[in-house]
């Protein structure tokens, strides 16, 4: 197996499962970053820029998209911590915008978390994937005949979750849920010649959604990390695709 020369490879950032003391979000992307130590493993007091650059480097999202996602998360549940300046010339404590991952599972009109999650249950805190929902996702993926989930199939799973909760998501949370599905597919899809044929392969669903670990071939040359940067336009387009497929059902 060939490895890329990136300083971010698994050699320097092996997967270490979280413990009960660690803070985790209801988000496979962020928890995988913490489990590999790309942000602090305990998931606490993560600074704005360390999260922004981790998303940018690890998932190959553009800076504007990484900024937007990080900003929305910090706006919803970030807090200010006063940090002593390391300079002798500025003997002050400076404000620093921080986040604890588990706070992201707070609920409310200005929070991100909603009731139609694919693999998280609707309780607070909801920070680890629910294994029966993961099993449901994997079971669904194994019956598609493609060994994974295409974008329409992911939309169909989202639609099932919406029906299962018996209440409609408000418009903001519906847009968030569509965005999550679209972004997950953009980041984790197999890259064949045509995006129509792409799926999130079963093994990636199990590893990333189920264990919150990056796929083993992530950093390999020709591996599963997105080769081209994913930007705002693509994220919006994928969310619109999910919306279209969902409403066509």
Strand-pair category, 200-201 with 148-149: antiparallel
Q: Are 221 and 130 in contact (CB under 8 A)?
A: no
Output the residue with the shortest Cβ distance to ligand HEM. Answer: 73
Question: Which one among 134, 184, 214, 235 touches ligand HEM, defined by CB under 6 A?
Answer: 184
205 is an interface residue for ligand HEM by CB under 6 A: no
Residue pointed to by tokens 């670990």: 213
Under rule CB under 6 A, residue 214 binds ligand HEM: no
State the minimum distance, in angstroms, from the CB of residue 247 to ligand HEM.
Answer: 19
Q: Residues 12-41 vs ligand HEM: string with x where CB under 6 A?
A: -------------xxxxxx-----------
Q: How far is the CB of 124 from ligand HEM (least distance, A)?
A: 11
Nearest partner of 118 among 157, 150, 155, judged by Cα? 157
Output helix, strand, coil percentages for the chain, rounded to the nearest 5: 45, 10, 45
Q: How far is the CB of 31 from ligand HEM (least distance, A)?
A: 9
Q: Which positions from 42 to 71 touch ligand HEM by CB under 6 A, shown as an x/- string?
A: -------------x---x-x-------xx-
Nearest-approach distance from CB 180 to ligand HEM, in angstroms: 4
Rounded to a whole number of angstroms, the minimum distance from the CB of residue 85 to ligand HEM is 26
Strand, coil or helix: what is 64? helix
CA dist., res. 14 & res. 226, Å (int) = 19
If one asks whether residue 154 binds ligand HEM (CB under 6 A), the answer comes out as no
Closest CB to ligand HEM among residues 112, 149: 112
Q: How far is CA 207 from CA 75, 139, 202, in A?
A: 29, 14, 9
State which of positions 93-122 bind ligand HEM (CB under 6 A).
104, 112-114, 117-120
Burial class (CB in 10 A: 0-12, 13-18, 19+), 122: middle
Contact between 73 and ligand HEM (CB under 6 A)? yes
Q: How far apart are CA 49 and CA 34, in angstroms?
A: 15
Q: How far is CA 215 from the centre of its chain?
A: 14
- CA-CA distance, 41 to 219, in Å (whole number)? 20
Q: How many residues bind ligand HEM (CB under 6 A)?
A: 24
> What are the residues binding ligand HEM (CB under 6 A)?
25-30, 55, 59, 61, 69-70, 73, 104, 112-114, 117-120, 180, 183-184, 187
């Amino acid at each position: 197996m060939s490895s890329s020369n990136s300083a971010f490879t698994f050699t320097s950032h092996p997967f270490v499962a979280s413990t009960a003391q660690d803070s985790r979000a209801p988000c496979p992307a962020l928890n995988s970053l913490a489990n590999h130590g790309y942000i602090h493993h305990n998931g606490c007091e993560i600074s704005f820029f360390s999260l922004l650059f981790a998303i940018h480097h690890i998932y190959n999202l553009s800076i504007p998209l990484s900024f937007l996602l990080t900003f929305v998360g910090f706006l919803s549940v970030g807090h200010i911590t006063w940090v002593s300046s390391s300079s002798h010339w500025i003997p002050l404590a400076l404000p620093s915008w921080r986040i604890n991952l588990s706070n992201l599972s707070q609920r409310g009109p200005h929070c991100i978390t909603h009731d139609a999650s694919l693999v998280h249950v609707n309780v607070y805190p909801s920070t680890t994937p629910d294994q029966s929902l993961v099993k449901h996702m994997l079971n669904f993926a194994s019956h598609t005949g493609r060994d994974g989930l295409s974008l329409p199939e992911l939309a169909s799973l989202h639609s099932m979750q919406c029906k299962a909760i018996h209440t409609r998501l408000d418009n903001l949370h519906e847009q968030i849920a569509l965005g999550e599905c679209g972004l997950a597919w953009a980041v984790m899809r197999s890259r064949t010649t045509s995006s129509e044929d792409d799926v999130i392969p079963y093994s990636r669903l199990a590893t990333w959604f189920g264990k919150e670990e990056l796929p083993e071939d992530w950093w390999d040359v020709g591996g599963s990390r997105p080769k081209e940067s994913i930007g705002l336009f693509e994220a919006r387009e994928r969310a619109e695709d999910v919306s279209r497929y969902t409403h066509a059902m």
